[in-house]
Structure 1
Amino acid sequence: MAAPPPRSDHRIILHFDYDCFYASVLEVEQPVLKSLPLAVQQKQIVVTCNYEARRRGLRKLQLISEAKRICPDVVIVLGEDLTKFRDASKDLYHYLRTFVWGDRVERLGFDELFLDVSDMIEHNVGLLNPNNLQNSFFCLSRQDPAVGFAYDATTFHGHTYPSESETDRLSASSWPDRDQLYVKLLVASHLAGYLRGQLEHDKGYTATVGVSTCKALSKLASSAHKPDDQTALLPPYDWTQGTESNVIKFLDSHEIRKIPGIGSKIARSLKTHLIESPRLGSSDSGLVDDKITVHDVRHFPGMGPGLLEQILARPGSSKEIGVRVWNLIYGVDDSEVLEARDFPTQISIEDSYRQLDTFEAVKRELVSLSTNLIRRVRVDLTEKDEDTDSGIRWLAHPRTFRLSTRPKASPAASAARAHSFNRVSRSAPLPQYVFNLGERVDALGGRLVQDLVLSMFRKLHPERSGWSLSLLNVAVTNMVECAGEQKRSSGRDIKQMFQRQETVLKEWMVPEPTPAELDSRLEVHQGHGVWEESDDDEAIPSVICSRCGASIPHFALVAHEVYHSAGEDEVMRTEQEQINA
């Protein structure tokens, strides 16, 4: 077996996973639903349900008919329109972002966040008094040391892996012998607990949190105790002489597919290799029925980056996939938490169809998609601003409009080929009238289709009919930040600068003299003030359904497969909206 990869555990990462997010959005909107069994429906499938529904025997991926039979009084809400869930996700993202120094907050789908709180923890560890740990104070602001919360730094907040005993409590006597990583994780656990409490108090949502030194480990730790709880992964992380790594112990029992960054294809390839390998004797044949664990992979004869590369390397696979997977099964993940963004890099909406082959149908769908796109652009690229006449200002303007289509693949073509080779696109400058907030969205959508989109479609498909389209996608890209206070602004908001000047320089301004004072003075000295100028979401990863050719988000793929197996005959028409970070 190859040597373990080197570790770098200088960061502290929190992983937030909102509990029953889709059901929680509906419960926050209508609090009475919290005490009722609630299920969210897509097609004829329960895609998620709240804890009250689960208590009564409901579960994800049930047929709606089965859910109603088990729990006749279940409240069923359609979840086809993702708008309210996207808006709630965006709101929670911006809320938690206000607490984090350095702006390292990254969204993963609608219901997960990574927070890099390394700077905050480093600062607050330096504030600890070993002689008075029970009365510690966590400072939340660099500028104001009084902003924060009190906590007991002798013990962790929430769960730990492995579990701590009373004898493990931090004290003045044990302080000199404690690993610095242990202290950092302890302090971070209290920040995680505080943020969870604030999130529930201010927004009405609960979350489960993992605390560790990288994205993969913190995400995995958050799944250890659910819901509304948290887990910190304790050191030692390294496997040294005479010391067993808690990371290895934690990972070994997990099914290989559960490790963040290892997808189903990689897991299947590893399982196939382990089962079919001649290196395994008959005594190991139990692997055929059992799930492959991290321990199974790591201890397979000859396992290492080289063998993993042989097993997993395929045309189009990521570079050095063997090294990456080898790192992950040791809990090594150096990927950065991406810096928070005020808006997405692109916004796109698409619909998939069994067959779309008349001009009237295409035009109708393009108007619907374009209208929804403009509505989404207004939500994602504007913010409230009392200083403007409309009360709203643009954060950014996209410069480019893109239309993509996909003719339906022939039965002989694979799903991968259909997705890769049949999708065609065309781009054009986006008309400026789209940013007119005084115009109705539906009017703008119709005008955009008439002025631009139809001509783009005709250039993609010059035939009069018979296209047999399985997908239409409209998108805006090439974002340019508008003048304002953001640090990446492409210009300066002069009006706001002058408005800020009076407030910023107020204490240095010399008051204007009264007429009486002017009469008694030979001259008036006035201060000459100066001022300083101040400078979405992510795509939901999708896969192509091999049966109907639709682009399906990963989180909905299993439900979509159940939908097919249930024999549904309705026309598949699922709006899918991507948020690219």
Structure 2
Amino acid sequence: MLGTKSAKKHDSRIIIHFDYDCFYASVFENENPALKSVPLAVQQKQIIVTCNYEARRRGLGKLQLITEAKKICPDVVIVLGEELGRFRDASKSLYKFLEAFTWSGKVERLGFDEVFMDMTDIVDFNQSLLNPHDLSHSFLQLKRDDPTNGFPFDATRIAGHRHPNISLTSSVTSDGNAEKGLLTRLILGSHLAQHIRWALEEQKGYTSTVGISTNKLISKLVGNLNKPKGQTTLLPPYTLSEEDARAGEESNVTAFLDSHDIGKIPGIGFKMSQRIRNHVLSRPADFDTGLIYGSTRESVTVRDVRLFPGMGPELLEKILGGPGAERGIGGKVWNLINGIDDTEVQQAKKVPTQISIEDSYIRLDTMPEVLKELRILATSLLKRMHTDLLEDDDDPDSVIGKRWIAHPKTVRLSTRPRPPWNADDTRTRSFNRISRSAPLPNFIFSLKEELESLVDKFVQEILVPMFRKLHPSPRGWNLSLVNIGVTNMVETASEDGKSGGRDIGRMFKRQEEVLKEWKVEDKDVPPDLPESDNAVQTDPSAGNQVLESIMTGSEDIIQPTQTSVDEQGVWEDDEDEDEGQEICDECGAIMPAFALAAHERFHSLEG
């Protein structure tokens, strides 16, 4: 049964979660294939942040000290992973590769090495094509309009691993119709995932571990069961009838989630899991010791929480609620521990929602050291902005050859101070960050100024004042982490019309081209008329008559203004229809009040 309180029903989407195997090590292996056969570790600071499977086979693991790793495996090859550009570029390339397999474009990247794909529409389409009399010789169509683009598959079996590992025949005969339909959809999803996974390895050289289910939560967790180079589908039943629930039966979702520690459930953060653990244990849970920390010595499972007396959305709201907490957090967490996750796979985005750079420190407690680190982080942030937010500019008048596809409006500085020493020479561990935000200055977007000059100006004028507001005292603090990020992205316009913003400069350039045909000039010879079936034809012997026709206007010729719409789409309707309009005294064009000053400058530049 799902618990003491009813939860929402499971949906019928098909979500596939891709986790690239040893991604950071694989990037180096793809650059140098000879590294695939040796134990390889990626170093940041004095720690191994990840390693390949050959290194793991010899006893190495994540978050080991370099000195310790060399003792365990003396012949380990260590490469530096401080510069993230190569990982970011590889992640983008793989993301674009996976996006090409979707119809809806619902592909969401989680970090560098994980991707969610919503393949519901492809599965729906192919489910309708199945021949129930010959399922073992089915064909999965990859393109809606091309019945030859796809691959054959056996629709009577799951591709890859299944959980629980039971016979599909017994599952089908014992489930209701809805669960039979879900099983068919999961079978289709598993074969689609296997096809993409094999293509990823063959064409890009990266192996992956995959999970298939009906939401992001379960697909991510079930994929962890068979690493590396494996895929796992969670079988039905996902829901139970009231009779089965009363009889003490459990759905496969509940049975699967119950064995997980509460801190391993995506969507339940470290702080929330600690509060839940402390409530279930009736005391604070012990932390692990060591340089890298964060987990606990005592496991509190999802089952421990779900079956705790009185547990439900209301009690979780009391445990997790309070100032600053998300509204309805109790109900959200209750759904998660029951396998309910309504969050959508986000549409593929050209522009990231935010860009941030951070680093951690053993000790950072002097202003000169802070200035040094702020410059390093700011340099990385600006380089990252140039990589992620600049594209080639097709405008022939462009001198730089690049244009911004988005302008972040806000800069955020975050630090994590270490608490002071206690009287017994111990330090209370804290994971709390403090932050400060400010408008991002426009000089950051200059493409003519040297990067080093921009960084110095950014640090001195923006970051240092923000830091002093976070830490007013000149000394006495010790930081374990510093983060700089930019957010509140506003997309700029593009020539293909696919972005959401406007390019005012280009709008006025095109305005000049469109309006020049109708502009009245102080000349003895009247200007040319636009070619039109209804336009007055020029006749050299009737010059004054033609000019009079232009000046008085014609019911057959619509004079363009900023509020009219032409075939080229030069002007866009304003989002706020109530915004005040102004009329240009010189040309009579109608426009929002805020644009009048720029429009008048446009006229002054003509002369």
* TM-score (normalizing by structure 1): 0.72
Aligned counterpart, 1:232: 233
Query: Deviation at 1:486?
Result: 6.2
The 1:458–1:40 alpha-carbon spacing in structure 2 relative to 1, beyond 3 Å, is closer
User: Are the aligned partners of 1:211 and 1:221 in contact in 2 as well (CA < 8 Å)?
Assistant: yes
* Secondary structure of 2:433 counterpart: helix
Question: Structure 2: how far apart are the matches of 1:424 and 1:176?
Answer: 54
The 1:366–1:219 alpha-carbon spacing in structure 2 relative to 1, beyond 3 Å, is closer
Aligned counterpart, 1:80: 82
Amino acid in structure 1 at the alignment position of 2:492: E
Query: Deviation at 1:474?
Result: 4.8
The 1:246–1:375 alpha-carbon spacing in structure 2 relative to 1, beyond 3 Å, is same
Aligned counterpart, 2:446: 434
Query: Deviation at 1:219?
Result: 1.0
User: Are the aligned partners of 1:367 and 1:446 in contact in 2 as well (CA < 8 Å)?
Assistant: no
Aligned counterpart, 1:59: 61
The 1:361–1:76 alpha-carbon spacing in structure 2 relative to 1, beyond 3 Å, is closer
Query: Deviation at 1:257?
Result: 2.5
The 1:134–1:65 alpha-carbon spacing in structure 2 relative to 1, beyond 3 Å, is same
Aligned counterpart, 1:397: 406
Question: Structure 1: how far apart are the matches of 2:17 and 2:123?
Answer: 15
**Largest Rg, 1 or 2:** 2
Aligned counterpart, 2:453: 446
Amino acid in structure 2 at the alignment position of 1:85: F
User: Are the aligned partners of 2:126 and 2:140 in contact in 1 as well (CA < 8 Å)?
Assistant: yes
* Secondary structure of 1:211 counterpart: strand
Question: Structure 1: how far apart are the matches of 2:115 and 2:203?
Answer: 18
Moved more, 452-461 or 338-347: 452-461
Match runs of 1:29-48 below 5 Å = 29-48=31-50
Query: Deviation at 1:132?
Result: 2.5
Aligned counterpart, 2:280: 274
Aligned counterpart, 2:501: 490
Gaps of 5+ in 1: 278-287, 498-529, 536-581
* Secondary structure of 1:223 counterpart: helix
Query: Deviation at 1:344?
Result: 1.1
Is the counterpart of residue 255 in structure 1 residue 255 in structure 2?
no
Match runs of 1:289-438 below 5 Å = 291-350=299-358, 354-355=363-364, 365=373, 367-383=375-391, 394=403, 396-398=405-407, 400=409, 402=411, 404=413, 411=420, 419-420=433-434, 423-431=435-443, 434-436=446-448
Amino acid in structure 2 at the alignment position of 1:302: G
Is the counterpart of residue 118 in structure 1 residue 120 in structure 2?
yes
Amino acid in structure 2 at the alignment position of 1:431: F
Structure with more contact order per residue of length (Cα contacts < 8 Å, sep ≥ 6)? 1
Residue correspondences, number: 479
Amino acid in structure 2 at the alignment position of 1:327: N
Query: Deviation at 1:464?
Result: 13
Question: Structure 1: how far apart are the matches of 2:344 and 2:331?
Answer: 17
Gaps of 5+ in 2: 284-295, 423-427, 511-566, 573-607
The 1:75–1:249 alpha-carbon spacing in structure 2 relative to 1, beyond 3 Å, is same
* Secondary structure of 2:406 counterpart: strand
User: Are the aligned partners of 2:493 and 2:499 in contact in 1 as well (CA < 8 Å)?
Assistant: no
Query: Deviation at 1:55?
Result: 1.2
Aligned counterpart, 2:95: 93
Query: Deviation at 1:289?
Result: 8.6
* Secondary structure of 2:325 counterpart: coil
The 1:190–1:384 alpha-carbon spacing in structure 2 relative to 1, beyond 3 Å, is farther
Aligned counterpart, 1:556: none
Match of 2:164 among 158, 162, 167: 162
The 1:37–1:194 alpha-carbon spacing in structure 2 relative to 1, beyond 3 Å, is same
Match of 2:23 among 11, 21, 24: 21
The 1:146–1:268 alpha-carbon spacing in structure 2 relative to 1, beyond 3 Å, is same
How high is the sequence identity, in percent, across the aligned residues? 46
Moved more, 292-301 or 174-183: 174-183
Amino acid in structure 2 at the alignment position of 1:118: T
The 1:383–1:155 alpha-carbon spacing in structure 2 relative to 1, beyond 3 Å, is farther
* Secondary structure of 2:236 counterpart: coil
User: Are the aligned partners of 1:484 and 1:491 in contact in 2 as well (CA < 8 Å)?
Assistant: no
The 1:364–1:49 alpha-carbon spacing in structure 2 relative to 1, beyond 3 Å, is closer
C-alpha RMSD over aligned residues: 3.9
Aligned counterpart, 2:110: 108
Query: Deviation at 1:207?
Result: 0.9
* Secondary structure of 2:323 counterpart: coil
User: Are the aligned partners of 2:157 and 2:187 in contact in 1 as well (CA < 8 Å)?
Assistant: yes
Query: Deviation at 1:144?
Result: 2.8
Aligned counterpart, 2:7: 5
* Secondary structure of 2:129 counterpart: coil
